[in-house]
Chain A
């Protein structure tokens, strides 16, 4: 069965420092990949997605992610975080042949230290 693993449940980082949130998936077929952000007491908002083409994907709020097929990873990065980036981040995978249901990671809480 397909699965999505977010390797860190929490990532503390100082303001203006770079950050990487890790996401690995297990699937042998083609996938679509997504990163969502959830601010407190809100729904989820799409940060970026990979459907095809360039493996480096740029999203909103200065985030980017790189699809690595050989390592089955889709890590999220930002070169300089701001206090407003404090939120929960979810990685999700949509697998061909499964009616494109999203398989969700457990989430990573990004904690920005002043």
Chain B
């Protein structure tokens, strides 16, 4: 079944730790996205990719980085987590010009 997966679903971590949020999709979509969303708030695009070896920063400045070595995989990395990074991170993928399909999200808490 075609789907989009995110792990972990919940992560509580101390300040200064390096973390990687995983996102994988089995739909063969070229475009992938990372959004940051605070509870009850709108989505903010932080990174996107048009395909392998393509990554771009989104509208919201973020200290995270992404990579796209394989079509199906789009991990997000924080080199040194801080409490200000506490948020929900949503991964999505799409076919060009059409709707985006979302993963279940990772809720990150940095103590």
Contacts and interface: CB of A to CB of B under 8 A. Distances in A.
B92 to A, nearest CB: 8
A107 B41 contact: yes
Nearest to B4: A43
Nearest to A102: B100
Contacts of B97: 32, 94, 100
Interface stretch (A13-21, A44-52, A70-78): A44-52
Interface in A11-45: 32, 34, 36, 41-45
B41 A44 contact: no
Interface residues of B, number: 21
Interface size bucket, A side? 20 to 34
B11 to A, nearest CB: 14
Nearest to B91: A43
Contacts of A94: 97-98
A43 B102 contact: yes
Given A32-B98, A42-B105, 11 more contacts: A32-B97, A41-B105, A46-B101, A49-B99, A88-B40, A94-B98, A100-B96, A106-B41, A107-B40, A107-B41, A109-B40
